[in-house]
């Protein structure tokens, strides 16, 4: 019965890899096969599809695609409807927004121009036309349109920064800085204002004034990556390498081994003078759009963030951080297929390419292209055998795909690398290797690893749960095992999987009343889990609630359990459970309850 628990226990703990590995946690998000249900690749509408639809059909298809966050399909359907009803302003606006969200800037610009002929005050259309003008160095037109896109705190800031870059592009640095400085607003404005004023002054060769602005932004938030990077670069050219190195080292203490910081440290320690963060108006404007878009992504503003990130990439297609932020946004809304396309755009020479490859691999796995993902990760590990993040990601995919012997070996490499690096042993590697060893029937190794994980991270609830359950499943160490599972439940009382472990542990020792009590609680927490429903059905049967038992088994079957479990559930639906006459179970129950020796 332990096999029933593997996917759920793994799913509940898989995200630990992202935060516990000693490598950079940047963009590290473990994936499970469960994600594949939300990750089926959208089929883009063909010309035949579009030709066969009425206006209402195209509109409904577009709305469905929009809800599914498939901006490309939505745009195609809206434009198909628009061709049949060209004066429909709602269709025009929706087609425009969908094209913009999809990153089809040529189409977005074309539609924006049409919108402005009927609604000259459309702020998003003005912004797009203004950014297009910036890209083509039409700075007067850029300012005129961008200044008409103002609507609220976020758009005010975006418009002011972009207008400042346009002023600089037009040759008026003073007007650019003055416009930025005049903007008043929320407490989070100043760091953006000082950063971009510094970047503009730096390009205008006003180095002393630029340094003042960078220093001020850095003092506002020394944990902001782009601020620290811009300031360190300025210091390397205008002060000395030691000062630049100090900024990078201070950041590294807050977020270890960020690829851009690692590269900066390597170059400053070598005495190099680093180039400015941006070297053109277009890159500066892209930086403004990226910075605010990335902030919105972290704060739940995905729709507006998507617009800003696409505009940033329109101005600077090779902006690696914007690409990773856009891909991360797609992942957050469960669109790994779209994220894959973005990760593939990261330049081979970017310091962030390795991070992109790791995430690309996990997203490939999420859409059932697992072999491709594993191949990519093995290449990353071959290029750097000490890359713990890549090793962890590879092990996670192998484990989720039930390649248990492979993942046991992979996590073992992580343990060995940590020892070679002199790092503190990472309990997560031992825990995950323990799971893989248990599933590949290497129990002595599994037990040793799970005990080691607990030694390194005492009272860790997931480890307590897995080890305790494993012991109970084997009928050994029952007293200690029950205590461990209870401690896990005390720490995670709302974790349906762990509560299920306690209920199933009671079942295994024939304490069916307590089994029912805890399994009913687990169902309340995880009503759609097939294994918990199956467990509750078994417990109901043992206490004589046979109709309820069959209902739970039926529900478990409908919830698509693992294929190997389906015949067992069907057999129970047909014949029920055989009588449990195990005296050993009753004896062990007494022992656990403290009623026997």
What is the pLDDT confidence band of residue 84, given thresholds at 50, 70 and 90?
confident
Sort 63 into a burial class: Cβ within 10 Å, 0-12 / 13-18 / 19+.
Answer: middle
- C-alpha 147/C-alpha 130 separation (Å) is 9
SS3 content of the chain, % helix, strand, coil (to 5): 75, 0, 25
More confident residue, 573 or 596: 573
Q: Give pLDDT tens digits for 363-413.
A: 999 999 999 999 999 999 999 999 999 999 999 999 999 999 999 999 999
Kindly state the average pLDDT of the residues 17-33: 29
If one looks up domain 40-120 in CATH, what number appears? 1.25.40.10
Tell me, what's the pLDDT at 528? 95
% of the chain surpassing 90 pLDDT = 76
Tell me, what's the pLDDT at 98? 93
Residue 9, pLDDT > 50, answer no
- C-alpha 509/C-alpha 584 separation (Å) is 9
Tell me, what's the pLDDT at 475? 87
Supply the pTM of this predicted model: 0.84
Q: Give pLDDT tens digits for 410-435.
A: 999 999 999 998 888 899 999 999 99
Instruction: Return the domain boundaries, the chain.
Output: 40-120, 281-333, 459-597
Tell me, what's the pLDDT at 45? 59
Tell me, what's the pLDDT at 64? 81
% of the chain surpassing 70 pLDDT = 88
Q: Give pLDDT tens digits for 439-448.
A: 999 999 999 9
DSSP secondary structure letters along 80-125: HHHHHSTT-HHHHHHHHHHHHHHT-HHHHHHHHHHHHHH-TT-HHH
φ, ψ for residue 587, nearest 5 deg: -65, -45
Tell me, what's the pLDDT at 46? 56
Tell me, what's the pLDDT at 23? 29
For the chain, the average pLDDT equals: 88
What is the pLDDT confidence band of residue 19, given thresholds at 50, 70 and 90?
very low
CATH 1.20.1540.10 fits 281-333, yes or no: no
Alpha-carbon torsion (505, 506, 509, 512), positive or negative: negative
What is the pLDDT confidence band of residue 49, given thresholds at 50, 70 and 90?
low
Q: Give pLDDT tens digits for 90-147.
A: 999 999 999 999 999 999 999 999 999 999 999 999 999 999 999 999 999 999 999 9
More confident residue, 3 or 134: 134
What is the pLDDT confidence band of residue 33, given thresholds at 50, 70 and 90?
very low
Look up the CATH architecture of domain 459-597. Answer: Alpha Horseshoe (1.25)
What is the pLDDT confidence band of residue 35, given thresholds at 50, 70 and 90?
very low
What is the pLDDT confidence band of residue 329, given thresholds at 50, 70 and 90?
very high
Q: Give pLDDT tens digits for 260-281.
A: 999 999 999 999 999 999 999 9
- What stretches of 204-224 show up as alpha helix (H) in DSSP? 207-220
Residue 53, pLDDT > 70, answer no
Contact between residue 294 and residue 325 where contact means Cβ atoms under 8 Å apart: yes
Residue 25, pLDDT > 60, answer no
What does the block give as tokens for 12?
Answer: 């509940």
Looking at residue 44, what DSSP letter applies? P
Residue 30, pLDDT > 60, answer no
Tell me, what's the pLDDT at 167? 97
Query: In this structure, how many other beta carbons lie within 10 angstroms of the beta carbon of residue 177?
Result: 23
Closest CA to 427 of 385, 471, 468, 458: 458
Q: Same topology for domains 281-333 and 459-597, yes or no?
A: yes
Residue 210, pLDDT > 80, answer yes
Residue 195, pLDDT > 50, answer yes
Q: Give pLDDT tens digits for 508-547.
A: 999 999 999 999 999 999 999 999 999 999 999 999 999 9
């Amino acid at each position: 019965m332990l096999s029933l628990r593997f996917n759920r226990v793994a799913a509940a703990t898989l995200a630990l890899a992202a935060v516990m590995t000693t490598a950079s946690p940047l963009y590290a998000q473990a994936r499970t096969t469960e994600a594949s249900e939300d990750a089926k690749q959208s089929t883009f509408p063909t010309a035949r599809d579009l030709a066969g639809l009425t206006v209402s059909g195209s509109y409904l298809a577009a709305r469905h695609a929009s809800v599914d966050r498939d901006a490309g399909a939505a745009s195609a359907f809206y434009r198909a409807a628009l061709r049949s009803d060209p004066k429909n302003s709602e269709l025009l606006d929706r087609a425009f927004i969908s094209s913009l969200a999809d990153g089809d800037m040529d189409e977005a610009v074309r539609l924006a121009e049409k919108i402005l002929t009927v609604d000259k005050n459309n702020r998003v259309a003005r912004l797009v036309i203004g950014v297009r003008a910036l890209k083509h160095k039409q700075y007067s037109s850029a300012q005129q349109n961008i200044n008409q896109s103002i609507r609220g705190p976020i758009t005010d800031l975006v418009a002011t920064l972009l207008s400042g870059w346009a002023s600089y592009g037009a040759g008026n640095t003073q007007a650019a800085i003055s416009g930025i400085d005049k903007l008043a607003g929320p407490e989070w404005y100043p760091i953006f204002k000082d950063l971009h004023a510094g970047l503009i002054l730096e390009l205008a060769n006003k180095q002393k004034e630029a340094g003042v602005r960078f220093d001020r932004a850095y003092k506002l938030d020394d944990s902001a990556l782009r601020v620290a990077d811009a300031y360190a670069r300025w210091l390397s050219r205008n002060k000395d390498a030691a000062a630049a190195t100090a900024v990078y080292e201070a950041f590294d203490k807050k977020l270890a081994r960020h690829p851009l910081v690692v590269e900066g440290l390597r170059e400053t320690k070598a005495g190099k003078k680093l180039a400015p963060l941006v070297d053109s108006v277009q890159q500066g404007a892209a930086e403004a759009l990226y910075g605010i878009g990335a902030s919105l992504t972290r704060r739940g503003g995905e729709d507006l963030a998507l617009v800003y990130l696409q505009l940033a990439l329109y101005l600077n297609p090779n902006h690696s951080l914007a690409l990773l932020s856009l891909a991360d946004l797609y992942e957050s809304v469960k669109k790994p297929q779209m994220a894959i396309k973005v990760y593939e755009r990261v330049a081979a020479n970017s310091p962030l390419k390795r991070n992109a490859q790791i995430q690309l691999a996990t997203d490939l796995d999420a859409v059932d292209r697992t072999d491709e993902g594993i191949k990519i990760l093995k290449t990353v590990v071959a290029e750097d055998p000490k890359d713990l993040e890549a090793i962890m990601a590879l092990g996670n995919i192998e484990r989720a795909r039930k390649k248990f012997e492979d993942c046991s070996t992979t996590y073992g490499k992580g343990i060995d690398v940590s020892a070679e690096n002199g790092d503190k042993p990472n309990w997560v590697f031992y825990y995950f290797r323990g799971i893989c060893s248990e599933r590949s029937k290497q129990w002595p190794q599994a037990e040793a690893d799970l005990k080691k994980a607990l030694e390194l991270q005492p009272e860790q609830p997931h480890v307590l749960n897995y080890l305790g359950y494993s012991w109970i499943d084997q009928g050994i160490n029952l007293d200690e095992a029950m205590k461990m599972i209870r401690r896990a439940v005390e720490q995670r009382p709302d974790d349906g999987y762990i509560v299920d472990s306690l209920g199933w542990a009671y079942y295994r020792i024939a304490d069916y009343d307590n089994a029912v009590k805890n399994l009913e609680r687990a169902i309340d927490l995880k009503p759609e889990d097939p294994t918990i429903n199956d467990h509750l059905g078994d417990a109901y049967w043992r206490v004589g609630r046979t109709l309820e038992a069959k209902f739970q088994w039926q529900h478990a079957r409908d919830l698509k359990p693992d294929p190997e479990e389906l015949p067992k559930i069907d057999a129970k639906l047909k014949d029920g459970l055989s009588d449990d006459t195990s005296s050993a179970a009753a004896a062990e129950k007494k022992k656990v309850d403290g009623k026997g020796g």
